[in-house]
Amino acid sequence: MMRKSLALLFSATIGYASLGATTAAAETFVTIGTGGQTGVYYVVGQSVCRLLNRNSAEHGIRCNAPSSGGSVANVNAIRGGEMNMGVVQSDIQYKSYEGIQSFESEGPFSDMRALFALHGEPLTIVARNDANITGVKDLKGKRVNIGNPGSGQRDTMDVVMQALGWTVDDFALASALDAAEQAAALGDNNIDAMVYVVGHPNGSIQEATTTVDANLVSVSGPEIDQLISERPYYAKAIIPGGLYRGNDADTETFGVRATLVASTATDDETVYQTVKAVFENFDRFKRLHPAFATLKEEEMIKDGLSAPLHEGAIRYYKERGWM
């Protein structure tokens, strides 16, 4: 008698568990907005998804991370409900959350929520050696790829141009090629310089400096100093020498941080499982790209975040005793 009821109970549990797993597995599809395929955001998205998808059978979440136009495109897609999460520069996060400057017409994106910050992203300008560009002001009159609309670098470059009192007419050519196309354009001599706000080392700058003799350009001077002092999300940054062919000296510039954001419309459980997948496998995550190697948990949950943390992230950080 006892045996029978135990057996019944057992099969009922199995039945329930497998039913739960099948329905759950088909249930939640999550898309993370990234950037061009030769940048670091793409690797962030792929890495987060890879770790999250390892436990799909348990939590029923399937993650994918297609390439995209970059920060601004990601924030707009999250706001429009077409993406659930996205990698976004900290300056873009700030401006979009507050609804200021380039985001003034949309108004504040008050439903934006932060998950964590990632690697630093210096404003990186690479010029062909034969263009004789060593400082940002030498870009005047040159052919410059200022970035596709939707990219973070385009937004940051617009700010730099304003600070210098320039418009696109100050360049011989201001092109808007995608991040993944610009290294080839530099090599083909279609542009003199390319602009990328990006973690290091990365495939794009490596491609640029190996296909042609090219140098990193310093971004400094009184106008830049003023920009950094006026805006909380900018900080001085150094691109270390020795990362790229022909660039052995450090390059002075300023930068932001990459961050992962979602909206209140992204459910708590999905966000909880996402941050859990990253922080439970943190050593593994850090090995997935050299730009992640120096990440530290305690900095990631506060630096560069202007939107409030997502409830699902808070739940996990409290469980870990970080909050």
Residues in the site for ligand GLU, rule: CB under 6 A?
35-36, 39-41, 70-71, 89, 121, 151-153, 197-199
Choose between 52 and 73: whose C-beta lies nearer to ligand GLU: 73
Minimum CB distance to ligand GLU, residue 278 (Å): 17
Type of residue numbered 158: D
| Inter-residue contact 239 to 86 (CB < 8 Å) | no
Choose between 151 and 247: whose C-beta lies nearer to ligand GLU: 151
| Inter-residue contact 164 to 135 (CB < 8 Å) | no
Choose between 46 and 153: whose C-beta lies nearer to ligand GLU: 153
Minimum CB distance to ligand GLU, residue 156 (Å): 8
Minimum CB distance to ligand GLU, residue 292 (Å): 12
Query: Which of 231, 229, 184 has its CA nearest to residue 210?
Result: 184
Choose between 155 and 192: whose C-beta lies nearer to ligand GLU: 155
Minimum CB distance to ligand GLU, residue 198 (Å): 4
φ/ψ of 295, rounded to 5, equals: -65, 145
Q: Residue 229's Cα: distance from chain center in Å? A: 23
Minimum CB distance to ligand GLU, residue 77 (Å): 13
Choose between 59 and 154: whose C-beta lies nearer to ligand GLU: 154
Minimum CB distance to ligand GLU, residue 139 (Å): 19
| Inter-residue contact 277 to 92 (CB < 8 Å) | no
| Inter-residue contact 143 to 60 (CB < 8 Å) | no
Tell me the sheet residues that pair with 30. 63
d(CA 213, CA 10): 69
Choose between 84 and 273: whose C-beta lies nearer to ligand GLU: 84
Choose between 126 and 314: whose C-beta lies nearer to ligand GLU: 126
Cα torsion 284, 290, 292, 296: sign:
positive
Minimum CB distance to ligand GLU, residue 36 (Å): 6
Tell me the sheet residues that pair with 247. 244
Report angle CA 102, 195, 162 to the nearest 5 degrees. Answer: 40
d(CA 25, CA 295): 31
